Chain A
Amino acid sequence: DAGVIQSPRHEVTEMGQEVTLRCKPISGHNSLFWYRQTMMRGLELLIYFNNNVPIDDSGMPEDRFSAKMPNASFSTLKIQPSEPRDSAVYFCASSLSAGANVLTFGAGSRLTVL
């Protein structure tokens, strides 16, 4: 398996633009997590899905952020409109199930909002 695949690896955009980050989890993994990593706040859980259903989105910073998982092999995290304070590395991770939660992380998407 190629592991958790994220795209793009790097994105530079201007304030106000829409940003879409993509994630393909490991085949057979039923849970998917989106994390954000910054120097100031460390790793923050934004949202997680179990069997494609959002279970907890309490970490989503505000309405500008939305996440979807239309099927078991694909998820998106969208920021609209983007702001400079959204600059961070966004990680997607998957696990076999929410209960057996050893996470496999993707390489991350580094977002810079100018």
Chain B
Amino acid sequence: SQQGEEDPQALSIQEGENATMNCSYKTSINNLQWYRQNSGRGLVHLILIRSNEREKHSGRLRVTLDTSKKSSSLLITASRAADTASYFCATDATNDYKLSFGAGTTVTVRA
């Protein structure tokens, strides 16, 4: 079963704009990760945030985690056409190393 649920399902923005997507999950977690999938390719790990962290940055990516609300957000700043992809959050529940993926947010960046 899918632990994480992303919102929105799809997002279309202009190049240079910011893209924000959210992930909600159901049970206590060890970590939350974000992955990107380009069309026809495998998933690529973007960033991992631990349950005791609240915010993390990596280049143009900013991830927040609110364990009290069981939610996370991924912000992509100054988007580029190459950011067009599907983005998935993945969680591993406490005492369980299985990674469960959400349904993903499809982001389209228009040139």
Residues in A lying within 8 Å of B, measured CB to CB: 4, 31, 33, 35, 42-43, 45, 48, 56, 91, 93, 98-99, 101-108
Pair A45/B92 contact, Cβ less than 8 Å: no
The answer for the CA separation of A101 and B33 in the assembled complex, in Å, is 10
- Residue in B closest to A58 when the chains form the complex, CB atoms: B98
Assuming the A-B contacts A42-B2, A43-B88, are A105 and B100 also in contact, with contact meaning beta carbons closer than 8 angstroms in the complex?
A: no
Distance from B70 Cβ to chain A, minimum over Cβ atoms (Å): 19
Question: Which residues of the partner chain B approach A106 to less than 8 Å between Cβ atoms?
Answer: 42
Q: Which residues of B contact A4 (CB under 8 A)?
A: 42
Interface mask (B22-33 → A, CB under 8 Å = 1, otherwise 0): 000000000101
B102 — which chain A residues lie within 8 A by C-beta? 42
Count A/B pairs, Cβ under 8 Å.
46
Which residues of B are interface residues toward A (Cβ below 8 A)?
Answer: 2, 31, 33, 35, 41-45, 48, 88, 90, 92, 97-104
Chain B's nearest CB lies how many Å from the CB of A109? Answer: 10
Contacts of B97 on A, CB cut-off 8 Å?
31, 48, 98-99, 101
Main secondary structure of the interface of B (DSSP, over half): strand
> Are B103 and A104 within 8 A (Cβ)?
no
CA gap between A58 and B4 in the complex, in Å:
19
- Other than the given A104-B45, A108-B42, 17 more pairs (CB < 8 A) read A4-B42, A31-B97, A42-B2, A42-B101, A42-B103, A43-B43, A43-B101, A45-B99, A91-B42, A98-B97, A101-B99, A102-B48, A103-B35, A103-B90, A105-B43, A107-B41, A107-B42
Select B43's contact among A45, A98, A99, A103, beta carbons within 8 Å.
A103
